[in-house]
Amino acid sequence: MPRLHDFGIPDRGNHAWTLDEEASRPILRRAIEAGINFFDTANVYSDGTSEEIVGRALKEFTSRDQAVIATKVHGRMRPGPNGAGLSRKAIMAEIDASLRRLGTDYVDLYQIHRFDPDVPIEETLEAIHDVVKAGEARYIGASSMYAWQFATMLHVSEANGWTRFATMKNYLNLLYREEEREMLPLCDAEGIGVIPWSPLARGRLTREWDAATERSRTDEFGRSLYEHTADADRRVVEAVATIARERGVPRAQIALAWVLAKPEVSAPIVGASKAAHLDDAIAALSLILSDDEIRRLEEPYAPHPVIGFS
Ligand SMILES: NC(=O)c1ccc[n+]([C@@H]2O[C@H](COP(=O)([O-])OP(=O)(O)OC[C@H]3O[C@@H](n4cnc5c(N)ncnc54)[C@H](OP(=O)(O)O)[C@@H]3O)[C@@H](O)[C@H]2O)c1
């Protein structure tokens, strides 16, 4: 099942394109009515307002028992050395703040948003283990980092008997497949659930190469992800368009079906800025690409510089 997040007050925090509460609520409601039950947010998204909006909507539209709530820690919330990162002090402060904003006494999945090279791995792992033992998180996950960093963390948690990561949220889509080299095989070998972010390349896989939307015009982070490989990327986008035309479905369904076809992937984290986007996300679940279609989608790909880890 695709999972969801795109919500936060636009003039708070890092993304000018996010939807405010009034615009977010109908999408969240429709998602719940359609059976989507997993919602991904982060302390840092829109300066905490994403957690507030998601928390209030879930309370109204579903029960805590039905909802699977994921949030993250690492991004900068305040100035100073304790206002970001994965120290014990930061983690303990941030889980409390996230629970307060979400209006719940536990999250289902607590994820480290990035690797923190300034903190000993043992300190981070013991702190998130303690968060689980305190009943504030049911499971823990990690997000974009080098595979060697994740492998080391898995080893250290096992050696100490601490809670093991259940998931890896990494950057994977038809325009960025570098994770196929190391991270996906590692997750497969270790039995880690893979829940990729930006499976539609932040919308680039859903429309004409030169088309712009309100989000794409202000998406600075998104722009930085695709500067280097424009020719090959354009041909991948054209391959998506061709197969979508042959199948008579929107491009988003083809791009999501490709992510879902990867055996290591549990579920992509889909960003929906319109309620109708949910229909494609759900339809993609039953769209099975043939081996030949997958070959044609993958054929134009050119390796990208490794990105998304900082
Ligand atoms: N862990 C991390 O480091 C990290 C990093 C980035 C994101 N994430 C998570 O992953 C989620 C998804 O990332 P993302 O929003 O970048 O992902 P995405 O799913 O690749 O892109 C979403 C965008 O694609 C377009 N779109 C979606 N469905 C569509 C459809 N059916 N038809 C046409 N266009 C469609 C919309 O663009 P327009 O709005 O332009 O129309 C939407 O804003 C985020 O919300 C966040 O929770 C995590």
Ligand 1: which residue has its CA nearest to atom 33? 206
Note whether residue 264 is domain-resident. Answer: yes
**pTM to 2 decimal places:** 0.93
The single-letter code of the amino acid at 213 is T
- Whether 258 lines ligand 1, by a CB cut-off of 6 Å, is no
162 CA to middle of ligand 1, Å?
33
Confidence band for 3, pLDDT divided at 50, 70 and 90: low
Classify residue 259 by burial, with Cβ atoms within 10 Å: 0-12, 13-18, 19+: buried
Specify the range with the lowest mean pLDDT, choosing from 188-192, 218-222, 263-267.
218-222
Strands 3-4 and 107-112: unpaired
Ligand 1: which residue has its CA nearest to atom 17? 198
Identify which of 171, 216, 218, 222 has the alpha carbon closest to the alpha carbon of residue 194: 171
204 pLDDT above the threshold of 80: yes
Sequence-distant contacts of 259-264: CB under 8 A, at least 24 apart:
259/172, 259/173, 259/174, 259/196, 259/199, 260/284, 260/285, 261/288, 261/289, 261/294, 262/172, 262/184, 262/194, 263/188, 264/184, 264/185, 264/187, 264/188, 264/194
Tens-place pLDDT, residues 57-106: 999 999 999 999 999 999 999 999 999 999 999 999 999 999 999 999 99
Q: What percent of the chain has pLDDT over 70?
A: 95
Note whether residue 307 is domain-resident. Answer: no
Confidence band for 6, pLDDT divided at 50, 70 and 90: low
Note whether residue 163 is domain-resident. Answer: yes
Q: What is the pLDDT of residue 125?
A: 98
- Whether 30 lines ligand 1, by a CB cut-off of 6 Å, is no
26 pLDDT above the threshold of 60: yes
Q: Helix %, strand %, coil % for the chain, to 5? A: 45, 15, 40
The CA distance from 40 to 20, in Å, is 16
Note whether residue 310 is domain-resident. Answer: no
Note whether residue 93 is domain-resident. Answer: yes
241 pLDDT above the threshold of 80: yes
Note whether residue 47 is domain-resident. Answer: yes
2 pLDDT above the threshold of 60: no
**Residue 146 belongs to domain spanning:** 2-299
What is the arithmetic mean of pLDDT over 273-278?
Answer: 93
Note whether residue 88 is domain-resident. Answer: yes
Identify which of 192, 183, 181, 211 has the alpha carbon closest to the alpha carbon of residue 141: 192
The CA distance from 249 to 62, in Å, is 31
Q: Which of 45, 171, 176, 301 is catalytic?
A: 45
- Whether 277 lines ligand 1, by a CB cut-off of 6 Å, is yes
Q: Is 110 a catalytic residue?
A: no
Q: What is the pLDDT of residue 81?
A: 92
Q: Which two tokens stand for residue 108?
A: 């289902």
- Cα 53 to the chain's mean position, in Å? 17
Tens-place pLDDT, residues 137-183: 999 999 999 999 999 999 999 999 999 999 999 999 999 999 999 99
Q: What is the pLDDT of residue 1?
A: 45
Return phi, psi of residue 91, to 5°.
-60, -45
State the CATH number of the domain containing residue 90.
3.20.20.100
274 CA to middle of ligand 1, Å?
11
Note whether residue 305 is domain-resident. Answer: no
Tens-place pLDDT, residues 108-124: 999 999 999 999 999 99
Q: How many folded domains does the chain comprise?
A: 1
Q: What percent of the chain has pLDDT over 90?
A: 84
Tens-place pLDDT, residues 279-305: 999 999 999 999 999 999 999 999 999
How high does pLDDT run on average in the chain? 93
224 pLDDT above the threshold of 80: no
- Whether 206 lines ligand 1, by a CB cut-off of 6 Å, is yes
- Whether 99 lines ligand 1, by a CB cut-off of 6 Å, is no
The single-letter code of the amino acid at 161 is G
